[in-house]
Amino acid sequence: MTAGSLRFRGPAAALGPADRRALLDRALPGTGDVRTAVRSVLEAVATRGDQAVAELTARFDGVRLERFEVPRARWRAALERLPAPVRTGLARAARNIETAHRAWVPVGATVETEPGIVLERRPFPLARVGVYAPGGRAVYPSSVLMGVVPARVAGVGEIIVCSPAAADGAPADPILAACELAGADRAFAIGGAQAVAALAFGTEQVPRVDRIVGPGNAYVMEAKLQVSDRVGIDGPAGPSEVLIVADRSTPVEVIVAELIAQAEHDPRAAVVALLVGDGIDAAGVEAALAAAADRADRREIVAEALRGLGAILTVPTLEEAVAFANEFAPEHLLLAFDGAERWADRFSVAGAVFVGASSSVAFGDYLTGGNHVLPTAGLARSYSGLGPADFVRWTNYQRVSAAAAARLAADTAALALAEGLPGHALAARQWEAR
């Protein structure tokens, strides 16, 4: 990479309409070809079940399977084979995720709107959920923890993990080890859109679930979107994103390291540094980034991300930084400037906000206990990160005493007749004389 490879630079206010649109209106990666291919996979699994799953797994993953489920003994063996530092890290992450998510379990509430009228809203755990864990070129055991632990904490009846099979017919050892540590109930060696289809429709071997969560490639995400009319999903997501707000107090190496860390995820990642105020050398930051990108182990991916949606922009004030950040609505927002704590509440539109230069996004990806399954592509304006609330459904209860029913009858009947529903009016007015 060279310094000239960065796509966007200069004052944020000077971005032209096309550049501003490209940066702010980031699209999810699905295309017409992806949609068509996924639709074909879903139809095949819906009509032919396990036979279609086996054929698709052989075609896409090069693995022929008759039985998809991975025995529990294999999970435990994978955990025992795991290098001690990785095992220690995963166990620590699982503990912190559980601690945090237990504090966030939804609770019901009861309210009396008028004397004798009592309303209640209660959360109930879902019966069965599916957690998708990417495999193949990259293996993400942390994503298993991020999906399984909150579901278990929420009280889900059965938690199923699906992840692509390696050459030996099972998901990679770190995935299976994470299933054991997180407390999953079952694991299946299937991936891609066929795994989403199996979870959504159910097959002879794979039970149908009530919700599907977890990250994946464009085909997995498109499959989740296409089955969302019959099963809950955690929301659409795409390539990783970070927006770093920094000022002259921020070490340049911090800015550069955070940009590289997210850029190495995906060539379509969005990585932006927003430099605030006077005295910060934007050209120097860009030169340091170029040098670090050239040294990066995943330099080709990093360079492509920087060419695609990489930016070093400047704004004169923190007020303008707030406005830009809330419009950008990033997956990860790192507030690395001096006094970040005082401004944190104003930066409210993001999947997760990391307050202070030492609050590295990498810590949140793995060990803090926060969830790393977060909205991307500006969808933080509408969606939230994964948590226990994604694994419950809500039921409303209403209690109306006879005395309260008599008081409600006339007004209810008037509204019903105004809407042309005389049957509703009659149902209400029968309580007037009781």
Enzyme catalytic residues: 331-332
Query: Whose structure tokens read 């997180």?
Result: 182
- The span from the CA of 224 to the CA of 404, in Å, is 45
Pairing between strand 270-276 and 310-315? Answer: parallel
Q: Return the structure tokens found at 112.
A: 């009396």
Closest CA to 402 of 7, 116, 23: 116
296 in Cβ contact with 264 (< 8 Å): yes
Q: CB 84: neighbour CB atoms within 10 A?
A: 7
Closest CA to 196 of 181, 214, 180, 178: 214
Strand partners, 335: 245, 355
352 in Cβ contact with 332 (< 8 Å): yes
Query: Whose structure tokens read 């990860």?
Result: 332
- DSSP for 342-408 reads HHGGG---SSEEEESTTS-HHHHHHTSS-------TTGGGT-----GGGGEEEEEEEEE-HHHHHHH
- Report the half-sphere exposure of 262 (CA within 13 A, side-chain side): 34
Phi, psi dihedral angles at 216 (to 5 degrees): -175, 180
Q: Return the structure tokens found at 211.
A: 């919700």
